[in-house]
Chain A
Amino acid sequence: MTLPDVTFADFHPILPALILMLGGAVLLFAEVFLTPSAHHGPAHVSRAHQPIIALVFTAAAALVSGWLMFQPARAVFLGFAVLDPFSAFLSLTVCVGLGLSVLIAAGFLRHRKAERGEFYALMLFGAAGMSLLGVSNELVVLFINIEVLSVSTYALAAYLRRGPRPAEAAFKYFILGAFSSAVLLYGISLLYGATGTTQLSAMAPQMSAALAKTQGLVYLGLGLLLGGLAFKVAAVPFHMWTPDVYEGAPTPVTALMSAGVKAAAFAALVRVFLALGHNLDSHLLATLFAFLALATMVIGNLLAIPQRNVKRMLAYSSIAHAGYVLLGVASLFVSGGAPTGGVLGATPLATGGLTAALRQDAVRGILFYLLAYTVSAVGAFGVVSALERREEEDRGTAWDLDRFAGLVHRRPWWAVAMTAFMLSLGGIPPLVGFMGKLLIFKSAVDAGLVWLAVVGILASAAGAYYYLRVVVYMFMRPAPETGVLPERHGWTEAALLLSTAAVVVLGIAPGLISSWLSQAGKLFGQ
């Protein structure tokens, strides 16, 4: 029997996750060993330091991810995981989302007097799962990492147990999440049966043989795999859980879900289908993703329009944004052989096949979009969390549009920040969301999905309506006479400041990260 040849270099791609896990463990121990119990003294002494511990470890993980971005792509742990700039960029995006969510959580929990170290520990464990999901190159490892991030977020969603809403959100999230994980796993087991392996690099060369022998098994397995991942990214028609879960979960958790969970699930989707899609009928894959993108963009935006509850509106808008990313994913799979005049409206480029350079551009577009969405959406949830009041949560008016009325007169900086986030989410130049949409739509057009790109632009024009409505409420409506001035939280305001800076700076000068981005298009084996 040969022993696996594992060296320290194999641990490089999982270093960010290891740092985050270590941070989580430190927070757990700080909670039980250092925090004085209620009998012995004031509990808030060391609890004030918990967000700082979490932020230090998050920053360390982000730095290591930045270093990994420039390492040569290679397979590690016998091919079970890979080190590539793609996963490093994802890890960085997750750390950005995590850091901002921790800041929001610090203000949020202080306000609710619910400060406990486990909250940050769970966030760090979940983020570790997200980071590991990006490097997974084996389907069972992928499943385990999905579970690591899901189990942490189930617990976080149920964290504020008082009141029926968080429990309900956690329950719905748990049942549908566990259901989709089971669907995903069954798909993996069928693919294992068809190819005899669960490792993506080993599976890809087996695909054509498996297709010839057991076609049904392969298609069913891939279909279930796609269904499971579509649940995680909240693509229509697997989106039903999103609004309730996003509304009911504590707002910092919603921020982490919308940013990190979604980005990690998209990374897994891209990696799996790029590895296995080669031997499939690429027209089928492109059509499938194109229809998913179409349905998700249109339905997400349409459902968001009538929402007066801003948190729920942001939930629907996150579905719509998943649609734009899916548009980028669809353009990855457009390649030669597409019949002209088909659904996709093939252009010369499409019939000629997508070149490696264009495919890298599409991957870059997806990654940049995920980063852009992370900073904009987490910032928006930060404003929502600063404005909400616990007393009104059970009545469902805690996030009503009226709470934003006249915000510019009460907290002008919050209003300005929220405006930046709304305009960025709406894809209005010169903010980062616009750059993200530009990259996505450009790669869609390059791939010949012109028709779909046009629908995407129309859908985002419709989306601008509900984003601008929030801006109108903040600037044009009078503030309620009796309204209590929302309390300021230093932590939350730091998150708002950082997100606003990112939204504006990355929008005006995306060249700042262009060296990273040009790296990040490289996936291992592609």
Chain B
Amino acid sequence: MVPITHYLVLAAVLFMIGMFGVMVRRNALVVFMCVELMLNAANLTFLAFARQRGDDLGHVNAFFVIAVAAAEAAIGLAVVIAIFRSRGSVQIQDIRTMKH
């Protein structure tokens, strides 16, 4: 049996990868995938703790997170398509019409 810390560390590493990915990656789709990675890191944490405690709640939460992530993926892809149609690129540096 793998101890729970391993799962938690894995989840934390996934979360950090996702977070840095959102900050440094330039392709909108990759940024979007990094966000999904963060959600899944949270999911893994839920499951690890649920297993440690022998508690169903964490498993139930994971289901809800999966459904929410799907809805978010659908709207996110739609927005990326809208971006692509309006400027023919999904690179973040091109998405900068407004002044800062």
Contact = CB atoms under 8 A, between A and B. Distances in A.
A196 B53 contact: yes
Contact of A167 (B31, B38, B83): B83
B65 interface: yes
A107 B58 CA distance: 47
Contacts of A491: none
A147 interface: yes
Interface string B27-49: 01001100100110111011011
A178 B95 contact: no
A190 B53 CA distance: 14
Contacts of A162: 86
A171 B42 contact: no
Give the interface centre of A143, A147, A165, A197 by most chain B CB atoms within 10 Å: A147
A247 B98 contact: yes
Contacts of A158: 78-79, 82
B75 to A, nearest CB: 5
Contacts of A140: 61, 64-65
A161 interface: yes
Interface of B: 8, 11, 15, 18-19, 22, 28, 31-32, 35, 38-39, 41-43, 45-46, 48-49, 52-53, 55, 57-58, 61, 64-65, 68, 71-72, 75-76, 78-80, 82-83, 85-87, 95-100
A172 to B, nearest CB: 8
B71 A193 contact: no
A516 interface: no
A185 B39 contact: yes
B6 to A, nearest CB: 14
Contact of B49 (A144, A154, A192, A244): A192
B98 A189 contact: no
B10 to A, nearest CB: 13
Contacts of A147: 68, 71-72
Contacts of A161: 82, 85-86
State the majority secondary structure of interface residues on B. helix
Contact of B95 (A143, A168, A183, A196): A168
B79 A192 contact: no
A483 interface: no
B38 A186 contact: yes
A178 B43 CA distance: 15
Q: Is the interface of A mostly helix, strand, loop or mixed?
A: helix
A224 to B, nearest CB: 9
A153 B54 CA distance: 38
Interface in A134-186: 140, 143-144, 147, 151, 154-155, 158, 161-165, 167-172, 174-175, 178-179, 181-183, 185-186
A163 B57 CA distance: 45
Interface residues on A, range: 35 or more
Contacts of B19: 179, 183
A188 B49 CA distance: 12
Contacts of B99: 396
26 contacts: A140-B65, A144-B68, A147-B68, A151-B75, A158-B82, A167-B87, A170-B79, A171-B28, A171-B83, A172-B95, A174-B75, A175-B22, A175-B28, A178-B32, A182-B18, A182-B38, A183-B19, A186-B38, A186-B42, A186-B45, A188-B42, A189-B46, A192-B45, A193-B45, A243-B98, A247-B98
A260 interface: no
Contact of A189 (B45, B75, B80, B86): B45
B75 A164 contact: no
A499 B31 CA distance: 40
Contacts of B98: 165, 168-169, 243-244, 247-248, 396
Interface in A446-472: none
B68 A179 contact: no
Contact of B86 (A167, A192, A198): A167
A192 B61 contact: yes
9 A-B pairs with least C-beta separation: A182-B38, A189-B45, A193-B49, A185-B42, A186-B42, A178-B35, A167-B82, A189-B42, A167-B86
Nearest to B68: A147
A356 B44 CA distance: 40
B79 A154 contact: yes
B35 A182 contact: yes
B97 to A, nearest CB: 5
A169 B86 CA distance: 12
A142 to B, nearest CB: 11
B11 to A, nearest CB: 8
Q: Which among A151, A178, A193, A248 has the highest number of chain B CB atoms within 10 Å?
A: A178
Contact of B38 (A168, A183, A192): A183
Contacts of A183: 19, 38
A154 B80 CA distance: 12
A401 B42 CA distance: 45
Interface in A7-37: none
Contact of A192 (B22, B46, B72, B75): B46
Nearest to A177: B72
A165 B53 CA distance: 49
